[in-house]
Structures are given as C-alpha cells and as structure tokens.
Amino acid sequence: MRVLILGGDGYLGWPTAMAFANRNHEVCVVDNYLRRNLARQMDRGPLIDAPKLDDRVDIFKALSSHTISVAIGDCTDSTFLSDLVRRFEPDTIVHYAELPSAPYSMIGPAEARLTFENNLKSTFNVIWAILEHVPACHLIKLGTMGEYGTPNIDIEEGWIDVAHKGRSQRFLYPREAGSLYHTTKILDTDLLWFYVRAYGLRVTDLMQGPVYGLSTAEADLDSRLSPNFHYDDVFGTVVNRFLVQAAAGIPLTVYGAGNQIRGFLNIKDTIQCIELAAATPPAAGELRILNQFTELFSVNQLAAKVQQAARLTGLAVTMQHLPNPRLELEQHYYNAKNTGLIELGMEPNLMTEAVLAEMLQTVLRYRNCIDTAKIMPRVRWGRRQGPPPDVA
C-alpha cells in the first residue's frame, strides 16, 4: 500500500510510519512540528530529545534499508494537503495530525482556538483531498475514548440502537466530552459521518484510550528512533507521569479520589490496530468505529501497578492525592466494549509489572534530565473562582 501518515512526528505517528515501512509499504509522513514547537515554547519538552524527521528517516534507513519520505507542511493548509494527496495517491491515510492535549485546550482562549482550528481544519481538509483526488482511499482517523465521557450505561463501539415509542433506529452513540480537545474529536466524528453518508467515503474511526510504552520492534533498533515521551502536566500522560515520579523519588500524583476508570493500551497494540484496520478496510459509504483499548483500570489501580513495578527495581514509591484540576466524575460506572479489534485478530500486550519495570528502567537512564517542576498540574478546568493560572 501507499500509506500517508499525517502527524508523523508524534508519539504514535513516527512508530506507525516505521512499522508500515518495515512491512514494505510505501510510506510518507507529514508534520509541521506544531506540538514539538508548542512544547518547547511552554518549556514542556520530552524526557528524551528526538531528532527531527529527516534525521530519523536517515537513521532508520541505515539500520533497516527501508525508506520513508517526508513532507513538512501544515494540514490546515488545504492547498498543501491537496497537492500532496494528489501527488502521492495514497491507498490509506492515517490521521494523527491533531493537538492531542486536553490540558492545552483548556488553558485559555488562544489555546482553545488553536486546538479547535487545527483539529477541525485538518480533518476537513483531508476529507476534501480524498474526495478530489483519491475517492477510494481508506481514511483511518484516531479518535478517543474520551469522546464518550462516563455514561451510566455500557459504552458500545460507536453506535447504539434506540427504541422509542414503538420505533427504532441506529444512532451514533451519545457522547459527552470532558474537555475542548475531546469535543473537537466528537466534531471530527460527526463531520466524517456526514461525508460518509453524502459522498461514500470509507472511514475507520478508532476510539483510543491512553497509550503507554516506548518499545516497538523498530524503535528498539536505536534509541534515537524512540517515540516522544512527555511527562509534563500539559502534553504528558498519566502513565508517563507516574513512571517519571517513581524514578525521581517523588509521590505519584493522583487527581482527586483516583477512582476514574479509563481504557489503556500498549503502543505496540496501537500499531497492531492500525495495521489490522488498514488490512481490512470498510466498504465505501461505511463509518466503522472501533474502541481501541485492551484493559480498564482506575487511576488508583494504575498507581498501584507502578508501585509494584518500582519495587522490582528497588524503588519505594508513595502516592499523593491532589485536588482534581479537571471537571470529571470520580465515582462512575464504566463498562466499555472492545470486541471489534479482537475479532480482526488483535493479540493484546497487557500492562504487566515487567512491562512497566522495563519502561521504568529506560526512564531511570535519563533520570538526570527530569524536571520535577513540569509535573504538577497548573491548568484547571472552567467554572472555578479566580483567574486561570499562569502556565507560560
């Protein structure tokens, strides 16, 4: 296949590009370094500095003999993206080119506007680039389990059958996001559903839970090929934050009571899911929605797992409960379905103590690079008294 990966500099985009290239697909990655630049401007850089795309491509080619092409440009620029799609003629487009940070989207109006415009414009532009140049192309878009919120009923895979006053119909599952970022992902799904119905696009929308991990078959070739690893309060994930805190000898910061439940998956499974989706595209005029996670944990359970993994490396780690900076239910029902990808053949990599201990060993090698001032939450959601905090 010819595979175009939007957001190819990201935590998931770069490992996905290497995986497809390593399987002899023709791969082109696109990025404008937006998140990399924002992180630097806000002093929220990753734990391990990553080379830029041209350098990473050269390193990967030297080690694997596989070639990846690079296009530096902005997916919100419709002319740039349309021209690229016309020239490359992809069979599959993997759309990661969105700002994936709930805290960033909630800092203030400028950050909210940038998140909204970047995410919706990039999705709109890729839709029209496909319609104009490659109408049979399969679009794989990364959604998020955060679109669903925490409903008091089971979370189905994207769709729900509703019976009302003697009649019934299938609808997109009702969604209730907890941040502006997650709301933009809901709008993505609605936008895609309209164009699927109106123009016969073929789309897979993957509702992904929080991803963890640094190890993939290709990234393990050289540390310079590793995925980005952010642990800060804006661009970091809870797993990364806990591992860095364990390595730095400071308590794991649990927001609120810690009973929030989410679906997690290993980065190896993200790549596996993308590959399975690409290998089995939906029919023209179909929006296929798959819930992409392997295990459900509460934040407290996750913290306990990190504590157990730390013991394997001789570290004693404590927990600290903080007032929750987010507006979210902390006591809630959560039963999400994830059978679709299993039926396609996904073989889950589970979050064992050994897996977390291996990640922790990597973090410990860079312990001197940890900046503990980046960890504590400084972005608070709305409906609070007083001005927003300074997060510059």
For residue 231, indicate whether it is catalytic: no
For 156-196, the DSSP string reads -SSEEEEEETTEEEEEEPP---SSHHHHHHHHHHHHHHHHH
For residue 337, indicate whether it is catalytic: no
- Cβ 271 vs Cβ 288: under 8 Å: no
Select which of 11, 104, 181, 195 is catalytic: 181
Select which of 144, 184, 189, 237 is catalytic: 144
Nearest-angstrom CA–CA distance, 258 and 251: 14
- Cβ 94 vs Cβ 43: under 8 Å: no
Q: What angle do CA 214, 392, 382 make, to 5 degrees?
A: 90
Computed over its alpha carbons, how large is the radius of gyration of the chain?
20
Task: Give counts: helices (H), strands (E), the chain.
Answer: 12, 14
Q: What angle do CA 242, 184, 346 make, to 5 degrees?
A: 60
Select which of 141, 185, 268, 305 is catalytic: 185
For residue 11, indicate whether it is catalytic: no
Looking only at the bridges linking them, the beta strands covering 26-31 and 202-208 are unpaired
Scanning the structure block, which residue is given the tokens 């103590």? 353
For 270-284, the DSSP string reads HHHHHHHHHHSPPPT
* Residues forming the active site: 144, 181, 185
